[in-house]
């Protein structure tokens, strides 16, 4: 389609920014060829279509992108899409063209001679004197390269997350007000966080264990000073009631001499703590054995602070000296068997 001078004049006159603003009137002192060049020399795609979605005007860039002539495109339906689901999304967003602010931005994947391309459209309605939509003007830009870069970045992020999640450490960040901003997937699963759950403070998961007070104090001190605190331990309760012991290592993130967030890593040491507690309990037993009073020959030796039982009986046997066993002989056996 060859654009006549009066067509370009009407196209420019119809470009209105807001219903309350005056129409842009083409000055008689400016040649229409200047406006024609302004439209036709744009690298961005420029179209105008009616309220039924049929194209009234297309610039050369749009024709070149689709590999079709102006004559073939004029009167065709704007925004052909490849799937019904995508078509519904576009249609829903474009309803804002018929109510304030009479504008919208949508992304459209179209088939071109160069393959599928993603076009970002910024559309604005053209209104008449009664604020009724008479047509729509849209400018589009090819953002396929940007989309490909974003997809590559997401892939790298997924690979990095997989690498991080494969280790023992789990990661998080929270604000100076203790509101969790990021929680790694494994930590979310450990605490039982539900998908789509709103932001919570990390203190919501703490138990009443006195050790938590010391950990909270270190975090508050790090926020106030902007300096890193030594690692500490916390006891938390998951959503299903399980008790979890964590070792926390965190650092304050400071901007303009003010702590803006806390970033840290945690390791699940629940089993390690259970082993430590078992060793500590065994230490008590050993001290009990070492401090027990020496009994007379033939008298079982029990720890003073432990109840008599099978374990204490065997421990008393192991604690007896060899010379005592020789002196006592083998009680309960006949003399001729000793």
- The answer on pLDDT for 1 being more than 50 is no
Q: 207-211, 270-274, 313-317: which has the minimum mean pLDDT?
A: 313-317
The segment with the largest mean pLDDT, out of 155-159, 198-202, 300-304, is: 155-159
Which of the four pLDDT bands, split at 50, 70 and 90, describes residue 310? Answer: very low
Residue 107 main-chain phi, psi, to 5 deg: -115, 140
Q: Which of 322, 319, 325, 287 is nearest to 306 (CA)?
A: 287
pLDDT of residue 45: 93
Region for residue 88 given its phi and psi (left: phi exceeds 0; alpha: psi -120 to 50; beta: otherwise): alpha
pLDDT of residue 125: 94
Residue 260: count other Cβ atoms within 10 Å of its Cβ: 13
What's the angle, vertex CA 208, arms to CA 204 and CA 211, rounded to 5? Answer: 105
pTM: 0.51
Domains 5-148 and 168-268 share a fold: yes
- Cβ neighbors of 210 (< 8 A, separation 6 or more) are none
Is the CA virtual torsion 112, 116, 118, 123 positive or negative? positive
Residue 201 main-chain phi, psi, to 5 deg: -85, 145
- The answer on pLDDT for 131 being more than 60 is yes
pLDDT of residue 318: 45
- The answer on pLDDT for 39 being more than 80 is yes
Domain at 168-268: CATH architecture = 2-Layer Sandwich (3.30)
Q: Which of 29, 39, 45 is nearest to 7 (CA)?
A: 39
Q: Could you tell me how far CA 225 lies from the centroid of its own chain?
A: 28
For residue range 2-29, what is the model confidence (pLDDT) as tens digits? 344 444 444 444 444 444 444 444 455 6
Distance CA 244, CA 319 (A): 37
Q: Which of 61, 63, 64, 13 is nearest to 35 (CA)?
A: 13
pLDDT of residue 17: 43
pLDDT of residue 102: 93
Which of the four pLDDT bands, split at 50, 70 and 90, describes residue 308? Answer: very low
Strand partners, 141: 120
Mean pLDDT of 167-194: 88
Please identify, in words, the CATH class of the domain defined by 5-148: alpha beta
Cα distances from 91 to residues 76, 84, 94, 237, in angstroms, run: 17, 10, 5, 47
- The answer on pLDDT for 177 being more than 50 is yes
Distance CA 119, CA 82 (A): 14
Q: What is the DSSP letter of 77?
A: B
Which of the four pLDDT bands, split at 50, 70 and 90, describes residue 137? Answer: very high
DSSP string, 149-180: HHHHHHHHHHHHHHHHHTSS-EEEEE-TT-BE
Stronger pLDDT, 233 or 196, i.e. the higher one = 233
Rounded to a whole number of angstroms, the distance between the first and last alpha carbons of the chain is 122
pLDDT of residue 289: 67
Q: Where are the domains of the chain?
A: 5-148, 168-268, 273-329
The answer to whether residues 329 and 320 touch, using CB atoms and an 8 Å cutoff, is no
Place of tokens 């100076």: 176
For residue range 218-275, what is the model confidence (pLDDT) as tens digits? 999 999 999 999 999 999 998 888 999 999 999 999 999 999 999 999 999 998 888 8
């Amino acid at each position: 389609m060859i654009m006549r001078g009066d067509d370009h004049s009407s196209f420019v006159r119809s470009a209105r920014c807001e219903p309350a603003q005056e129409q842009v009137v083409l000055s008689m002192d400016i040649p229409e060829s200047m406006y024609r060049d302004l439209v036709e020399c744009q690298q961005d795609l420029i179209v105008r279509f009616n309220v039924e979605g049929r194209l009234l005007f297309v610039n050369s860039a749009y024709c070149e992108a689709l590999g079709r002539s102006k004559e073939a495109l004029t009167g065709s339906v704007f925004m052909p899409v490849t799937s019904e689901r995508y078509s519904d999304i576009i249609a829903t967003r474009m309803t804002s063209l018929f109510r304030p602010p009479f504008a919208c931005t949508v992304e459209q994947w179209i088939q071109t001679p160069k393959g599928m391309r993603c076009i970002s459209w910024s559309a604005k309605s053209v209104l008449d004197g009664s604020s009724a939509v008479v047509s729509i003007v849209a400018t589009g830009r090819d953002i396929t390269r940007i989309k490909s870069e974003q997809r590559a970045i997401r892939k790298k992020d997924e690979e990095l997350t997989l690498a991080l999640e494969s280790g023992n450490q789990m990661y998080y960040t929270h604000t100076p007000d203790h509101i969790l901003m990021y929680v790694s997937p494994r930590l979310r699963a450990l605490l039982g966080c539900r998908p789509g759950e709103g932001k919570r403070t990390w203190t919501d998961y703490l138990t009443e264990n006195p050790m938590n007070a010391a950990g909270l104090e270190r975090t508050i001190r790090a926020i106030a000073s902007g300096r890193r605190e030594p690692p500490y331990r916390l006891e938390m309760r998951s959503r299903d009631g399980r008790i979890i012991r964590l070792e926390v290592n965190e650092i304050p993130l400071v901007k303009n001499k003010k702590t803006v967030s806390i970033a840290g890593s945690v390791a699940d040491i629940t089993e390690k703590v259970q082993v430590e507690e078992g060793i500590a309990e065994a230490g008590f037993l050993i001290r009990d054995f070492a401090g027990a009073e020496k009994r007379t020959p033939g008298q079982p030796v029990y720890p003073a602070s432990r109840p008599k039982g099978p374990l204490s009986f065997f421990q008393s046997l192991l604690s007896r000296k060899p010379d005592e066993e020789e002196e006592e002989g083998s009680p309960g056996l006949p003399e001729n068997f000793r």
